[in-house]
Amino acid sequence: MPTDFLGRVVAVFQRYGMSMLQGAGVSMQIALVGTFIGCLIGFAVGIVQTVPTGQKDNPMKKGALWVVKLILNAYVEFFRGTPMMAQAMFIYYGLFPLVGLNPSMRQAAYFILSINTGAYMAETVRGGILSIDTGQTEGAKAIGMTHVQTMLYVILPQALRNIMPQIGNNLIINIKDSCVLSVIGVAELLYKTKAAAGALYMNFETYTITMIVYFVMTFTCSRILRWMENRMDGSDNYDLATTDTLAHTSGMYRYPDEKKEED
Amino acid sequence: MVERDHILEVRHLSKSFGKHVVLRDIDFQVAVGDVTCIIGASGSGKSTLLRCINMLEIPTTGEILYHDKDITDRGVNVSSYRSKVGMVFQSFNLFNNMTVLENCMVGQTKVLKKNKEQAKKNAMKYLEKVGMAPYIHAKPRQISGGQKQRVAIARALAMEPEILLFDEPTSALDPQMVGEVLTVMRTLVKEGITMIIVTHEMAFARDVSSHVVFMADGVIEEEGSPEDIFGNPRKAKTQEFLSRFIQG
């Protein structure tokens, strides 16, 4: 073993680097899948929770909606209110065998992370929908859109843009928190790190590598998400669809078209 | 008076928010081709009345007959009714996630189920009419208030509605922009489109309307031809309200 710190880090990396990078890949995969499915769950729950009920609706529909909202609320509160590590043990070792399911470790990891992210995202999506000015809804209703059309074409695209930073937040949290799933034996980055550090008795060096790998993953993701946000905003400029140069300079278009009258 | 076809008839309409009564027993009719201006002080219930007509507010009691069919009935398809009744808002309410052109197309393609080419052609027709054709690629945040309102008018027109409702379309605009929006509205009046306009522009109301409704404290205080209301108001409240505008 080299005597200087950097040298030892390199040595640890040479021996356990591949295994740790594999673990990092697993972390990344779990985080991406969990965030993606979590977002889908979050959108579904958030949309249902913001369905308006009017006095004119029939009581059956109102009752059914009330029950569904109650169940979804319970889901959100339960998964936000208990630690994911405990949930992992509870679900993987308790609930799955109880209902006769036998998923692989990876599948269980996807499931637990998705359902957790979903609980948080549900509230984020609900907030995102509520953040859109009611004028947008009224504008959509006034041209005859139904609630579903209003949500699909007007509210959700704007809500999605507004909650993009929070989705990014969730992805980054998931990259790091996937390490919690090592309790059910998922061989992700932290699991591999523990193994390497334990084998060599070199905690400082091994964890230095781990920290760097985690940071590279999260920083890359946050940059990619920021780039996606900018793309969603579209261009700050727009082209005028006219050959009338007056419109370019003044920003005003004259009507009725004075040019035609001059001709 | 010759009885014309009533396209819209409001009967005994009342609206209260909790204990606060905003509209009391409103009755009025709109015939095809009518331009009805609703004037009155702020808080007199003008906007609420207009929002009730479009069912954005649910009337507490009363009926709104559209082609003799009560649209406040349970089971009436409010969305399809709204697609025939255009509305222009004080705060424009353009869809921020769409370009000017998309704003004018989305209702046609999604609600009226027209194909894209037809919708685009139609949208362009109305955008040209309001002088916004060069701006089709702009987003709402990139254009001025007056331009937004003109796009909002084009969006409503693109649905080819039977009635157009205007809820204080110029109240959020500076004087120069008020002019450009009113010019567009005057061309619509000339074309004979049925309109109900809530406005504070008295000169405009006097010029364009065929019928003027003056509201005060949630009731229709006085209604009649613009000559009667502006030239010869009978009620004290109407006189007081109008005198302030004429002096100012």
For the stretch A92-108, pLDDT in tens is 999 999 999 889 999 99
Q: Which of B79, B109, B196 to mutate to test the interface with A (most CBs of A within 10 A)?
A: B79
Query: Chain B contact for A134, CB < 8 A?
Result: no
Q: What DSSP designation does A56 have?
A: T
Q: What span, in angstroms and rounded, lies between the C-alpha atoms of A227 and A35?
A: 18
pLDDT at A233: 85
pLDDT at A239: 79
Query: Chain A contact for B229, CB < 8 A?
Result: no
For the stretch A99-158, pLDDT in tens is 998 899 999 999 999 999 999 999 999 999 999 999 999 999 999 999 999 999 999 999
Q: Which residues of A touch B84 (CB under 8 A)?
A: 144
Query: Chain B contact for A162, CB < 8 A?
Result: no
Is residue A251 scored above 80 in pLDDT? no
**How far B135 CA lies from chain A's nearest CA (Å)?**
6
Q: What DSSP designation does A50 have?
A: T
Query: Chain B contact for A131, CB < 8 A?
Result: no
Is residue B204 scored above 70 in pLDDT? yes
Higher confidence at residue B74 or residue B168?
A: B168
Q: Which of A143, A154, A244, A253 to mutate to test the interface with B (most CBs of B within 10 A)?
A: A143
For the stretch A157-191, pLDDT in tens is 999 999 999 999 999 999 999 999 998 989 999 99
For the stretch A21-30, pLDDT in tens is 999 999 999 9
Share of chain B above pLDDT 70, in %: 97
pLDDT at B90: 94
Q: Which residue has the tokens 């007959």?
A: B65
Chain pair A-B, CB pairs under 8 angstroms: 100
Q: Which residue has the tokens 């936000």?
A: A80
Query: Chain B contact for A139, CB < 8 A?
Result: yes
pLDDT at B175: 87
The reply to whether residue B136 touches residue A241, judged by beta carbons under 8 angstroms, is: yes
pLDDT at A60: 86
pLDDT at A175: 95
For the stretch B82-128, pLDDT in tens is 999 999 999 999 999 999 999 999 999 999 999 999 999 999 999 99
Q: Say how far residue B60 (Cα) sits from the centre of its chain.
A: 21
Q: Which residues, in sequence order, are bridge partners of residue B69?
A: B66
pTM of this prediction? Answer: 0.85
Q: Which residue has the tokens 């034996």?
A: A185
Higher confidence at residue A99 or residue A239?
A: A99
pLDDT at B247: 60
Query: Chain A contact for B125, CB < 8 A?
Result: no
Q: Say how far residue B185 (Cα) sits from the centre of its chain.
A: 11
pLDDT at B64: 94
Query: Chain A contact for B107, CB < 8 A?
Result: yes
* Tokens of residue B144, six digits: 């001025």
Model confidence at B1, in pLDDT bands (50, 70, 90)?
A: very low
Please compute the mean of the pLDDT values over residues B173-196 and round it to a whole number. Answer: 92
pLDDT at A43: 95
Query: Chain A contact for B144, CB < 8 A?
Result: yes
Which positions 31-90 of A are in contact with B (Cβ < 8 Å)? 54-56
Q: Which residues of A touch B86 (CB under 8 A)?
A: 142-143
Please compute the mean of the pLDDT values over residues A223-235 and round it to a whole number. Answer: 90
Question: What DSSP assignment string belongs to chain B?
Answer: -PPPPEEEEEEEEEEEETTEEEEEEEEEEEETT-EEEEEE-TTSSHHHHHHHHTTSS--SEEEEEETTEETTSTT--HHHHHTTEEEE-TT----TTS-HHHHHHHHHHHTS---HHHHHHHHHHHHHHTT-GGGTT--GGGS-HHHHHHHHHHHHHHT--SEEEEESTTTTS-HHHHHHHHHHHHHHHHTT-EEEEE-S-HHHHHHH-SEEEEEETTEEEEEE-HIIIIIS--SHHHHHHHHHHHH-
Q: What's the complex ipTM? A: 0.90
pLDDT at A77: 94
Q: Which residues of A touch B94 (CB under 8 A)?
A: 139
**How far A228 CA lies from chain B's nearest CA (Å)?**
16
Is residue A257 scored above 80 in pLDDT? no
Share of chain A above pLDDT 90, in %: 77
Query: Chain A contact for B82, CB < 8 A?
Result: yes
Nearest CA in chain A to B104: A143
For the stretch A30-82, pLDDT in tens is 999 999 999 999 999 999 999 887 766 778 888 999 999 999 999 999 999 99
Please compute the mean of the pLDDT values over residues B4-33 and round it to a whole number. Answer: 91
Q: Which residues of A touch B106 (CB under 8 A)?
A: 143, 153-154
A42, A36 Cβ separation under 8 angstroms: no
The reply to whether residue A241 touches residue B58, judged by beta carbons under 8 angstroms, is: no
Please compute the mean of the pLDDT values over residues B200-226 and round it to a whole number. Answer: 93
pLDDT at A250: 47
Nearest CA in chain B to A251: B143
Model confidence at A249, in pLDDT bands (50, 70, 90)?
A: very low
pLDDT at A253: 47
